[in-house]
Chains A and B, each alone.
Chain A
Amino acid sequence: MRKLMTAAAFALLTFGSTAMAQETLKIGYIDPLSGGGASIGEVGLKTFQFIADELNAKGGIQGKKVEIVPLDNKTNPQESLIQAQKAIDAGVRYITQGNGSSVAGALSDFVTKFNERNPGKEVLYFNYAAVDPVLTNAKCSFWHFRWDANSDIKMEALTNYMKTASSIKKLYLINQDYSFGESVRSTAKAMLAVKRPDIQIVGDELHPLLKITDFAPYIAKIKASGADTVVTGNWGQDFALLLKAAADAGLKVNWYTYYAGGTGGPTAVKQANLNHQVFQVSEGIPNLDNKPSQDFEKALRAKYDFSLFYPRAVNEMRMLAAAADKAKSIDPVKVAMALEGMEFEVFNGGKGYMRKDDHQFFQPIYISSFGERTEKEPFDEEKTGWGWKLIAKIDTPATVLPTTCKMERPN
């Protein structure tokens, strides 16, 4: 009898959730909400919720209300798979994740296998920030779409700019010890060897991911190496604390970064008093002369106390809506087909497109530096008074790199 009751209760629960799923479009947000990655994971979550609110205000996607389901993966691949399964069990057909290419690799693999085994229940994986090139090359998947420029594209842009900076003589590389950090260091070395063979690489460091709380020993080493420039792909806490330690030790070098704008980064840069000495390569900054993105920025800042670090997340969600409209369905397979090759006016202005061959999104890329503002830069960051200044814009066609992806499409 008890067994029957449990079964009945369970069945009720399951029916309940399917009924719910038909009214809403659930997006499983699998990212760190605790531990070393939590500071950026929470900002990401609020950003997605803000974008979902914006879409819902316009009637949602295909009449369905968009709901973001937060799932804490502790920046851990195994934990992410548990969370992904949990999300799927709760009726989620779209998952999104960004922090950590190690996690992204595991998720892409998981989703691909899941879809093979569960035809008719396909799940799409939208990657908004994990930039290891392998995800759209050797290990590409039909079910994975990436909105951030991959690490090679970013490094290509960064080194093209560094080529013109004649002050760089001695370079230090410091990166996180996992697939992405490894990719940054090897690409940087390979590209600079061609573009600026005169630059001497005086240090090449890998440190544990999101585990270091005091970077003082690393800063002492950079100082001792006599470097004048540092290249780092560090993100989240690993960037903020690195710069904090640099500020404490009074290390004055130029920093070429991927993610200086992340939570805590701008504060640390200001503290280190590195006025326009920290460069970032990204798909957008608040201080671009583009009215729609500036209006969005104002609305976001009015609601939360952070700025938009993820223009790519806006592109992702708006493109999901556009693809669903084009397919006239929220069925993941139809949406995936609609996304392939889709052209899109990106958040910061300009044309972008989702390449069909590897599901990598191509978009204009900007190099900016952080420091004192002029009247052209209305927005500051983290109440420091300093803001991002545009240094160079790379148009979409110039960011396109070849891919080795051999995509396997469902029949």
Chain B
Amino acid sequence: MRTLFRCLGLIFLCSMANESTGQVRRVVIYDDAATELHTPSPFTQSKDLWMTLAEFTRATGFVVKPQGVCRSELCFPLPKQREADFLGQRGKVTWFNLSEFARLVKQPVAHDQKLATWCFGPRQDVQNGYLATLDAPNFTLPDRSGKPHSLWDFRGKKVLLITWASW
């Protein structure tokens, strides 16, 4: 009986330890879409968000290449002397530090520690990009019945865009 209690105690301790080291289900919100990470991070001492390269690509669409961190035509070279701040090897798995990458590209990050959720906002240059051309930024949103409409569907017409709210 005593042994059984010890075992239960051990399981309890282990699950607590998992919680306290941040190894709960982690969520990344990137470009307004949420992705769950399934691989617990081995970087338990780091406050930064480390994820496997596969998870990094799944969450952000970016791919780590020899020339930098790339998505379609866009590439951010990693500073050579600081590569270890961005990439880490544990066994056969390569890990990527998304928090450090956000600092590099000047992207805001909001974090909820308890719920292990990170939200990455737009880069300043992306947010302000439309000011150079004054092209109205596009968006795609559903109507009442769920059918999506894009602002740019109405090119060729004058459009009065109006926001409102029920509150």
Answer yes or no: are A and B bound together in one complex: no
**A→B interface (CB under 8 Å):** none
